[in-house]
Amino acid sequence: METELDCDALVIGGGVVGLTTAVALAERGVRVRLWTRDPAERTTSAVAGALWWPYRIEPVASARAWALRSLEVYEELAARPETTGVRMAEGVLGETALEDVGAWAATRLPGLRPSTAAEYPAGPGVWARLPLIDMPAHLPWLRSRLEAAGGVVETRTVADLAQVRAPVVVNCTGLGARELVPDPSVRPVRGQLVVVENPGIRTWTVSTGADGAMAYFFPQPGRLVLGGTADEDAWSLEPDPAVAEAIVRRCAALRPEIAGARVLEHRVGLRPARDAVRLERAALPGGRVLVHHYGHGGAGVTVAWGCAEEAARLAVG
């Protein structure tokens, strides 16, 4: 059954990519509706840490360009952290030498320097000041910015892209694109987090140990987010107690005070991985436009604004 819509563009998907894309369109004067299957707090984006840094995303050159544009926006938003959920925070990229960062970021982040032994005893690292986004605050702020620009958000599901009668449809369904398009190349990379009371840690750390296991902690208002995992093709959304214990143990090896922190909650999210982000224009029946915009892996927050602006240009010029 076809559905006629009173809008210029319909964005499908209410995670950070969908919301940011809808904002980019609405602030161009486009009449936008956004359909989301789940409220923002139940999307994969809500589970994210979320530190600005490209992670598990291809193609690399495009991802870096999108990330740098997003960095510009996040730096502006960090002037109002209580409202936007974005702030600039210092921390260590572990197991990384300064020359490993690459000129694309080093020239844009002048404060980069090798970390000291006191800052990162585990080995070489790079000290950086990067955007850290509090997603439970940022996602509602994005929605309010969209609505302030005239956008409408509705809880709706879509079974067939061709049946949606909007002049422009932007598919930001993430992992849902696997069934909706269908695109079997989209697959989950499961991430599990443990949220604890913050024992006074003010800097973030991202580490990969000798065994290749990730450990990271991000201070957020009123809590500390610990991670993490990257389990390919794992679909379970149930927290694994053994995995949670291992996450706390790895993080406590970096900062011993974490060991005694009270656990507040457990989170699980499925990153929508793909060999490369699909950002392209296609045709729908009747001369209508379809823009696919999914497959951002673990970097949706990092590239959101750069990607959204490109998707908007593809959609409406």
Can you say which residues are annotated as belonging to the binding site for FAD? 44-45, 158, 173, 297-302
Please state the residue numbers annotated as binding site for D-dopa. 216, 271, 298
Q: How far is CA 200 from CA 207, 217, 252, in A?
A: 19, 12, 13
Residue type, 73: V
Pairwise CA distance, residues 114 & 124, whole Å: 7
Please state the residue numbers annotated as binding site. 44-45, 158, 173, 216, 271, 297-302
Q: How far is CA 144 from CA 55, 149, 169, 240, 253, in A?
A: 28, 9, 21, 34, 40
Nearest to 219 by CA among 253, 251, 244: 251
Q: How far is CA 1 from its chain centroid?
A: 33
Q: How far is CA 259 from CA 77, 203, 240, 255, 282, in A?
A: 33, 17, 18, 8, 51
Q: Give the chain's length.
A: 317
Q: Under 8 Å CB-to-CB from 192, ≥6 apart: which residues?
A: 227, 228, 229, 239, 240, 243, 244, 247, 266, 267, 268
